[in-house]
Amino acid sequence: MNSRRSTRAILAIAAVAAGCASMSDQEASQKALQLMKASFSERGQAKLDRLDQDEAQRLCSKPPSHELSKETSARIEKENLASIRYPADGKLIGDWKSGERIAQNGQGKQFNDDPKRPSGANCYACHQLSRQEISFGTIGPSLYQYGKLRGTSEAIQRYTYGKVYNSQGFTACSNMPRFGHNGILTEQQMKDVTALLLDPESPVNK
């Protein structure tokens, strides 16, 4: 049934495309979205609405050759920065030990994950953090000695918590998930990750 529907979709696309040599970029984007909507099925917590992009996702879905204008980047950053909600109790530093577990955990939000269990942040997938963990990725910069190098002033605390909450408030189209903005981590989890980065006792700062 679904394959028939998707076949029809691609036939419709082909009928349009046959007329001209190639599609415009915007046409192609629209057709790709149609194609994807017909080619994915909902499973577990992953519904089809995950293919509905917000503005940042849409603007950031471009090859590196299509660099965003300064104005567009600034707009993405401004809007994302405004989305950050700081904890009502004003405390930004939680428990670094819990933060380490969150940094190691790559589960959460996948169609096979239990939505009742807390998500991880999987920081080590992309960042070096502590010296002990040799299995770390390099998509993001090394965060080893993050707090030792920057100190723990209130400004640094707010920047760090904010960056975890919504990275695109600081860098448009950052590869880093917007953990608070998109509801991946809870407030307490973000405090714990902030502690992992800033607490002098954390292995990150040893």
Instruction: Enumerate the β-bridge partners of residue 46.
Output: 43
Distance between CA atoms of 101 and 188, rounded to whole angstroms? 13
User: Which residue from 163, 204, 184 is spatially nearest to 121, judged by alpha carbons?
Assistant: 184
Q: Which is nearer to another protein, 6 or 72 (CB)?
A: 6
Q: In whole angstroms, how close is the CB of 154 to another protein at the nearest point? A: 28
Name residue, tokens 């530093």: 93
Report the nearest approach of another protein to the CB of residue 89 (Å): 26
Of 72, 125, 158, 171, the residue at the interface with another protein (CB under 8 A) is 125
Which token pair is 80?
A: 């994302």
* Amino acid code (one letter) for 95: D
Q: How far is the CB of 126 from another protein (least distance, A)?
A: 7
Binding test (CB under 8 A) with another protein, winner from 92, 122, 157, 161: 122
C-beta separation of 166 from 80 below 8 A: yes
Whole-angstrom CA distances from 25 to 12, 22, 147, 169 are 18, 9, 44, 27
- Dihedral over Cα of 109, 114, 119, 125: its sign: negative
Choice between 88 and 134, CB closer to another protein: 134
Binding mask 143-182 for another protein (x = CB under 8 A): --------------------------------x-xx---x
Q: Tell me the window of 7-15, 89-97, 149-157, 192-200 that interacts with another protein (CB under 8 A).
A: 7-15
CA angle 146, 150, 153 (to 5 degrees): 120
**Binders in 23-52 for another protein, by CB under 8 A:** 23, 28-29, 31-33, 35-36, 38-43, 46-48, 50-52
Q: Which one of 15, 82, 88, 134 is in contact with another protein (CB under 8 A)?
A: 134
What are the C-alpha distances in Å from 117 to residues 138, 162, 184? Answer: 27, 24, 11
Which residues contact another protein (rule: CB under 8 A)? 2-3, 6-7, 9-10, 13-14, 17-18, 22-23, 28-29, 31-33, 35-36, 38-43, 46-48, 50-53, 56-58, 60-64, 104-113, 120, 122, 124-126, 128, 131-132, 134-139, 175, 177-178, 182-184
